[in-house]
Structures are given as C-alpha cells and as structure tokens.
Amino acid sequence: MSETWTIKCLINEKPVEREVSVRLTLADFLRHEVGLTGTHLGCEHGVCGACTVLLDGRSARSCLTLAVQVDGMNVTTVEGLGDKTRLSPLQQAFMDEHGLQCGFCTPGMLTTLTELLANNPDPSESEVRLAISGNICRCTGYENIVKATMTAVRYIRDGMPESSEVVD
C-alpha cells in the first residue's frame, strides 16, 4: 500500500500495537484492522460526525485523523461506552427516548455527548443542540436525541430506572 509505521495506543482501555500504513485513516484502522465497526464513515470530509471517537477523552473526527497520529493516545469508540447487557446511562436514555432510528449517526452522537456530559453534567437543551451541531442525523430530526441527553443527565444523577419493554 505504501510506507508503514508502528503505533502503540490504548483502544477502549486495551493496549494495541500495530504496524499501519501511514495514509490509513483512524476510522479505517478501527473498522477494518481492529474490527471495531461501530465507528461509521458517513462523509469522509469531516462534516457529518458519524466517525467521531474520543482521543484522550476529547471528541475528534476519525476520518480526519491518521491512524499513525494516535500513537501514544487513548482512543475510545462507541464499543468502549457500554455493552448490550450493560448500557451506559446515555445509551439507555437513547433507547428509552427513541433517540435513534437507522443507528448510523448514533455512535458519533454518543461519543460526542459522552464528552459533553463529562464536561458539563447539567447542560441546557440549547447547549446539547450546539454540542451535536457537528453531527448530522437524517432520521430523527434531533428532538429525541436532545431529549435522550436530558434524560441521561437524570440517569447519571439519580440512577437508572428498572428496565422495561414499554415506555410509560
């Protein structure tokens, strides 16, 4: 492919050491070399936000980052936020408020909002909207994403409710 470089990083808390092509984007590295396909590519020019991951806790476009650049960094993808049997409060709130439809933008929304809630545990609705202004969703009209984030604030503060199949 072209020249390579060896990188060491933490991905979802697990150490990873790989030789990567220097032009490989972080998104392609995560998806096709590490097998973490939860990070999605929607535009590959840094506008849609589907590929957002956290680099040392800060959100970043993985389509605009080269894999070689995360050498020494701590990378968090959607897979690192929770799993099916133990959803994070934000993930649970997305489910409870129907904050997703096709799910393609969702990983980027979740990583972006995870950063927001870490920095601002009590955001206003308009702060939430600004935080996700760099994440495009074509399905939901954003309303339920915003609602889910406000609900997640509650879950984080007061604990998560008993799970149920139906919304009251």
- 116 to 145, contacts with other proteins by CB under 8 A? 116, 126, 128-145
Among 29, 34, 52, 155, binds other proteins (CB under 8 A): 52
Least separation, in Å, of the C-beta of 64 and other proteins?
4
Residue 112, judged by CB atoms within 10 A of its CB (0-12, 13-18, 19+), counts as buried
Among 75, 117, 146, 153, binds other proteins (CB under 8 A): 146
Among 9, 29, 49, 114, binds other proteins (CB under 8 A): 49
The sign of the CA dihedral 159, 119, 30, 93 is positive
Count the Cβ atoms, other than its own, within 10 Å of residue 86: 8
H/E element holding 9? strand 4-11
First to last CA, the chain: 54
With contacts defined by CB under 8 A, how many residues of the chain interact with other proteins? 89
Find the binding residues for other proteins in span 62-91 (CB under 8 A): 63-66, 68-69, 77-79, 81-84, 87, 91
Least separation, in Å, of the C-beta of 53 and other proteins?
9
